[in-house]
Amino acid sequence: MIKKIMKIIKNVKIAKNVKFAKNVKFARNVINVKNVRNLKNINKFIVCVLSIVLMVAVSGCTITYKMNDGEKSDESSIAEVEIVTEAKTESNSDLNNDSDNGIDNGAAKDTKDSYISYTFRNDKLLQSHYEKHGIDMGFDSKEDYEKAASDVVNNKNALHKKEKEDNDDIYYLEKTNEFVVVSTDGYLRTYFYPDAGKKYYDRQ
């Protein structure tokens, strides 16, 4: 009888141990499952965090690029304004230089533009005065002689007055002793080197 009781106790103990072992194993499995789930959740969390970080980084780069691009546009605009300003300044400078060089820009013309060519009344008179004065003065042709007379009349340094008798215009370059007479209707009368120099001019 005692043996039966002891056997029953052993069986009960074994059953308890088996049940305990099963419970332990089940608990381990549950823990492992939870750990796996937790790991998956952690991985998902990490992926989400990394995605957010990447999105912020990309957005920041885009904003920075746009800002830099905007700054470049502003710099380009400033450069264009400076170029336009310099171009206008150079244009105004060119206009002033043109004025100094005698180019017509709406201002008063200089001596070169207002040069008036004077001639003898006809070729016969030109030839006569050339043979009488021009050859001795060293001119190679009557055309050169006539042009030189015209240059004296247009020279700002030439003395000028009206002849007492005929009211002709008289021009005299004291430095080169050149004497020219222009008729009242604008033709060259004569051109030569007076022997008396300025005294000859003063007597007219």
For 148-159, the pLDDT digits (tens) are 999 999 999 999
Rounded CA gap, 96 and 165, in Å? 45
- Please indicate, yes or no, if residue 86 is contained in any of the structural domains: no
pLDDT confidence bin for 52, thresholds 50/70/90: confident
Whole-prediction pTM: 0.46
Rounded CA gap, 32 and 40, in Å? 12
> Is 14's pLDDT higher than 90?
no
- Please indicate, yes or no, if residue 89 is contained in any of the structural domains: no
pLDDT in tens, 23-39: 545 445 534 535 435 54
- Please indicate, yes or no, if residue 138 is contained in any of the structural domains: yes
DSSP state for residue 2 in the 8-state scheme: H
- Please indicate, yes or no, if residue 88 is contained in any of the structural domains: no
- Please indicate, yes or no, if residue 104 is contained in any of the structural domains: no
Cα–Cα separations (whole angstroms), residue 63 to 8, 56, 59, 95: 81, 10, 6, 48
Structural domain span for residue 24: 8-50
Q: How many structural domains are present in the chain?
A: 2
Rounded CA gap, 186 and 181, in Å? 10
Exposure string over 23-49, b if 16+ CB within 10 A, otherwise e: eeeeeeeeeeeeeeeeeeeeeeeeeee
pLDDT in tens, 65-120: 444 444 444 444 444 434 434 444 444 444 344 334 433 333 333 445 699 999 99
pLDDT confidence bin for 44, thresholds 50/70/90: confident
pLDDT confidence bin for 57, thresholds 50/70/90: low
Which residues are paired to 160 by β-bridges? 171
- Please indicate, yes or no, if residue 19 is contained in any of the structural domains: yes
pLDDT at 184: 96
- Please indicate, yes or no, if residue 153 is contained in any of the structural domains: yes
- Please indicate, yes or no, if residue 197 is contained in any of the structural domains: yes
pLDDT in tens, 153-190: 999 999 999 999 899 999 999 999 999 999 999 999 99
Rounded CA gap, 174 and 180, in Å? 12
CATH of the domain at 174: 3.10.450.200
Q: Whose CA is closest to 187, among 150, 155, 136, 132?
A: 150
